[in-house]
Amino acid sequence: MQKKNDQSGTFLNRRRQLLKLGAAGMPMVLTLRASAAQAVISQLTCVITLPGSLKILVDDTGAAWVGDGSLETGTTKGKGKGKGKGKGKGKGSEGWTLESINAFKENADFVFDEGSVPSEFRPDECEEVEECSSGGGDDDGDDDDELLAHLVDENGSYALNDFLAGSGDDDDGSCHGHGGGGDDDDSSHGHDQGVVDCGYACYEYSSGSTITPGDFVNGSGFNYTGDEGVFLALAVSHSESAGLNSSFPGVSCVISVLNFVGQ
């Protein structure tokens, strides 16, 4: 705090003069109040309003794609067992077409690497078939041929890391959190005819949706819950990597809250 080595005559004289002024009543401290109460209110109450619909596609590694593209549904064949998280209703064997998933990824406005989405929002990995075919002879009971078949899309290319699925979903072609809804023992699984019903979850936000990041703040930072939690987790991730130049929706509001919570 002090520069004791700077003790030149002029310097000391200036300090002595200042002390004389202090003894005569001049303040030694000048304070500008920050109005902390106002800061609390303003920083935590900003609201993100989405002027257009938005989807977040999450895979089981925690990678994510954010965009407004559509995801087309189709029907899988075969049997299997899967489970996952999301908003799906857990009925039927509908899945998304690989073509629409790939198109969504390619046209995504923002892409996040593996691990970006907290684990509670990721779909489970596709499980393998319990009722394995008898022809494989694997010690572990898996049917590698069937596994392989499900890993390869219609065009013969590898598309997914895993196969088998949990839930199906509504069939209106929009995003409903496939892989969600819990176990679905009697459903079909994996992907067939270019359709996948596992390994992905999708979160959709309608136009005009509002998200108040301050509602998700606890003593240690953000507490990600609900569908908005996915959005916030990615907004925070983007603000951390892209900093102040981040163009992710609502990032100003998120940074405001981050500044407040000291993250």
Q: Given the rule CB under 8 A, which residues bind another protein?
A: 1-4, 7, 11-12, 14-16, 18-19, 22-23, 27-36, 38-39, 42-43, 46-47, 49-52, 54, 109, 243-244, 247, 249-253, 255-256, 259-260, 262
Give the nearer residue to another protein in terms of CB position, either 46 or 103.
Answer: 46
Cα–Cα distances (Å) from 1 to 13, 15, 174, in that order, read 19, 15, 62
DSSP 129: P
Taking the complex as a whole, the smallest distance from the CB of residue 207 to another protein amounts, in Å, to: 10
Residue type, position 146, single letter: E
Provide the β-strand partners of residue 201. 58
Taking the complex as a whole, the smallest distance from the CB of residue 260 to another protein amounts, in Å, to: 8
Give the nearer residue to another protein in terms of CB position, either 22 or 115.
Answer: 22
Give the nearer residue to another protein in terms of CB position, either 30 or 172.
Answer: 30
> Measured in whole angstroms, how far is the alpha carbon of residue 161 from the centre of its chain?
20
Cα–Cα distances (Å) from 78 to 60, 65, 133, in that order, read 21, 28, 12
Which residues fall within 8 angstroms of residue 142, CB to CB, at 6 or more apart?
128, 129, 132, 136
Which residues fall within 8 angstroms of residue 166, CB to CB, at 6 or more apart?
81, 82, 83, 84, 88, 90, 123, 124, 179, 180, 181, 182, 183, 184, 187, 197, 198
- Direct distance between the N- and C-terminal alpha carbons of the chain, in angstroms, rounded to an integer: 27
Taking the complex as a whole, the smallest distance from the CB of residue 83 to another protein amounts, in Å, to: 33
Taking the complex as a whole, the smallest distance from the CB of residue 44 to another protein amounts, in Å, to: 10
Taking the complex as a whole, the smallest distance from the CB of residue 55 to another protein amounts, in Å, to: 13
Angle of CA points 80, 86, 88, to nearest 5°: 65
Give the nearer residue to another protein in terms of CB position, either 149 or 260.
Answer: 260
Give the nearer residue to another protein in terms of CB position, either 182 or 243.
Answer: 243
Taking the complex as a whole, the smallest distance from the CB of residue 124 to another protein amounts, in Å, to: 31
Taking the complex as a whole, the smallest distance from the CB of residue 179 to another protein amounts, in Å, to: 27
Give the nearer residue to another protein in terms of CB position, either 29 or 140.
Answer: 29
Entry field: residues in the chain = 263
Give the nearer residue to another protein in terms of CB position, either 35 or 193.
Answer: 35
